[in-house]
Amino acid sequence: MSIREQMIDIIGVPYDLGASCKGGRMGPDAFRCAGLVTRLRELGCDVLDRGDVKLPAAGEPYGWSRTGEESVSGSPKARHLPEIVSLNKRLFRAVSGSHHNQRIPLVLGGDHSLAIGSVAGTASQLEGPLGVIWFDAHGDLNTFKTTPSGNIHGMSLAASLGYGHPILTKLSGLRPKVRPEHVVLIGARSLDPGELKLIQQTGIRVFTIREIDRIGMQEVMQQALAISTRDTAGLHLSFDLDALDPADAPGVGTPVAHGVRLDEAMLAMKFIYENGSLRSADFVELNPVLDLRNRTGKAGVELICTLFGK
């Protein structure tokens, strides 16, 4: 069955406590205002907007017993950890429910810490390993021991791989959610020392901007799909809009110069669509406060529509 013939659940996560720069909580509505639902339906997709995940209150219990090292408390090395764990638990249930109904969850952020719940929700519903393609200017491979900022949006890929605070890595009971040999990071150009060490330790395939420029996006995606779909039961796409060049996506909280150009990213989405392995996706870090006439929101909608067959 092609992606177009499947059904899509849109799940908003208006949350930005995982990042230093605020405003990302308005991202889901910016995607909607850019015409996302209408555009997908025009492609022939069966789209249901499930609304937004209910946000936890500050300091709200996260739903697991506090025992030993799994105690969740606020820390400069893992800022807003209780609230983020609670949010990801709710997102995990929403994504799992979407899969149970044989639909594709499309998660709109919000900051990238939400990927902990979206990856976990998809991994829990597959009858085999999950492959992940992660577009990002950053690695998101820090842990609470290596983070220079304490922002959990920079720990989400590490947590999905089983590295970091136990309450993040064990979310949903699965640990790890994904194996390093099934993960590809594309667009990286700002990696911290701890992230570089983890990349060397795990052997995760990373395509930096320099390599994309050298071999082209077509070759990058052929290799990325070969890695992420080999012996896996499905693919999750996690797309941080700061992977794009700031000229195409000014509305992100942590822009990094010389990024993936929008036409290159759309080519990448086309390759994923044609591959047919997509099971879920999240598009994150859209910050309307920093955007110019919703240029970044519109770029995100173009990417999503291409992912689903435009």
Q: Rg of the Cα trace of the chain?
A: 17
Spatial contact of 7 and 50, defined as CB atoms under 8 Å apart: no
Query: What angle, 0 to 180 degrees and rounded to 10, lies between the N-to-C axes of helices 115-123 and 81-100?
Result: 40
| Beta-carbon count within 10 A of 145 CB | 11
Which residues participate in the annotated binding site for Mn(2+)? 112, 136, 138, 140, 240, 242
Q: What is the largest CA-CA distance in the chain?
A: 52
Tokens standing for residue 238? 């996690």
Catalytic residues: 112, 136, 138, 140, 153, 240, 242, 285
